[in-house]
Amino acid sequence: MASSSSINSICLSLDDQSSKTLTTTTLSSFFAKPYSPRLLKRRRSQSFHVSCNANEHDQNINANIDRRNVLLGLGGLYSASNLAPLAFASPIPPPDLKSCSKATKTGSKDLVEYSCCPPTPKDLNNIPYYNLPPMSKLRKRPVAQDVTKEYIAKYQLATKRMKELDKDDPRSFMQQANIHCAYCNGAYKFGDEVLQVHQSWLFFPFHRWYLYFYERILGKLIDDPTFALPYWNWDHPKGMRLPPMFDRETTSLYDARRNPHVRNGTIIDFSSPRDEVTTDVGQTVTNNLTLMYRSMITNAACPLQFFGARYVLGNNDSKGQGTIENIPHTPVHIWAGTVRKTDLGGGKLSLGEDMGNFYSAALDPVFYCHHANVDRMWKVWKGLGGKRRDITDTDWLNSEFFFYDENKNPYRVRVRDCLDTKKMGYDYAPAAIPWVNCRPTRKGREGKVDLTNIEPANKVFPIVNLNKPISFSINRPTTSRSQKDKDEKEEVLIFKGLKYDTNKYIRFDVFLNEDEDVNTDELDKVEFAGSYVNLPHVHARNKKMDSDEMFQLDITELLEDIELEDDDTITVTVVPKTGGDVISIQSVAIELLDG
pLDDT tens figures, 200-230: 999 999 999 999 999 999 999 999 999 999 9
- What is d(CA 37, CA 39) in angstroms, rounded to the nearest whole number? 5
- What is d(CA 593, CA 54) in angstroms, rounded to the nearest whole number? 11
CA distances from 267 to 190, 272, 353, 420, 533 (A): 42, 11, 20, 33, 19
Q: Is 371 annotated in the active site? A: yes
Q: Is 261 annotated in the active site? A: no
Residue 258: which residues within 8 A CB-CB, separation 6 or more? Answer: 242, 336, 337, 338, 354, 355, 364, 366
Q: Write out the binding residues.
A: 180, 198, 207, 329, 333, 371
Tell me which of 50 and 412 has the higher pLDDT. 412
Instruction: Report yes or no: 501 and 65 within 8 Å, Cβ to Cβ.
Output: no
Please name every residue paired with 199 in a beta bridge, in sequence order, or none if there are none: none
Q: What is the pLDDT of residues 454-465, one digit of tens each?
A: 999 999 999 999
Q: Is 57 annotated in the active site? A: no
Please name every residue paired with 584 in a beta bridge, in sequence order, or none if there are none: 499
Q: What would the CATH number be for the domain defined by 451-593? A: 2.60.120
AA letter at 125: N
Instruction: Report yes or no: 185 and 117 within 8 Å, Cβ to Cβ.
Output: no
Residue 452: which residues within 8 A CB-CB, separation 6 or more? Answer: none
> With pLDDT > 90 as the criterion, what percentage of the chain qualifies?
65
Q: Write out the binding residues for Cu cation.
A: 180, 198, 207, 329, 333, 371
CA distances from 467 to 62, 515, 578 (A): 49, 16, 9
Q: Which of 207, 236, 537, 539 is catalytic?
A: 207
Q: Which of 306, 358, 402, 495 is catalytic?
A: 358
Task: Give the pLDDT confidence score for residue 347 in this predicted structure.
Answer: 77
Q: In the predicted model, is pLDDT for residue 323 greater than 90?
A: yes
Looking at the whole model, is its pTM more than 0.85? yes
Over residues 255-260, mean pLDDT? 94
- What is d(CA 280, CA 373) in angstroms, rounded to the nearest whole number? 25
- The CATH number for 69-437, chosen from 3.30.750.24, 1.10.3720.10, 1.10.20.140, 1.10.1280.10, is 1.10.1280.10
Q: Which of 57, 198, 236, 370 is catalytic?
A: 198
410-414 and 193-194 strand pairing: unpaired
The candidate with the shortest Cα–Cα distance to 572, out of 478, 520, 509, is 509
The secondary structure of residue 325, as a DSSP letter, is: I
- What is d(CA 186, CA 188) in angstroms, rounded to the nearest whole number? 5
CB atoms within 10 A of CB 297: 25
The secondary structure of residue 90, as a DSSP letter, is: B
- What is d(CA 571, CA 559) in angstroms, rounded to the nearest whole number? 11
Instruction: Report yes or no: 465 and 582 within 8 Å, Cβ to Cβ.
Output: yes
Q: In the predicted model, is pLDDT for residue 58 greater than 90?
A: no
Over residues 134-155, mean pLDDT? 96
Domains 69-437 and 451-593 share a fold: no
Q: What is the pLDDT of residues 541-586, one digit of tens each?
A: 444 445 468 899 999 999 999 999 999 999 999 999 887 778 899 9
Average pLDDT, whole number, for the chain?
Answer: 84
Each domain of the chain, given as residue ranges in start order, spans 69-437, 451-593
Q: Is 49 annotated in the active site? A: no
Q: Which of 236, 329, 370, 539 is catalytic?
A: 329
- What is d(CA 406, CA 324) in angstroms, rounded to the nearest whole number? 29
Q: For the ranges 255-259, 348-352, 424-428, 441-445, which has the lowest average pLDDT? A: 348-352
Q: Which of 49, 57, 371, 539 is catalytic?
A: 371
**Cα-flanking dihedrals φ and ψ of residue 287, to 5°?**
-60, -45
- What is d(CA 428, CA 433) in angstroms, rounded to the nearest whole number? 13
The candidate with the shortest Cα–Cα distance to 409, out of 119, 135, 197, 166, is 119
Q: In the predicted model, is pLDDT for residue 511 greater than 80?
A: yes
* Angle made by CA atoms 509, 30, 289, in degrees to the nearest 5: 5
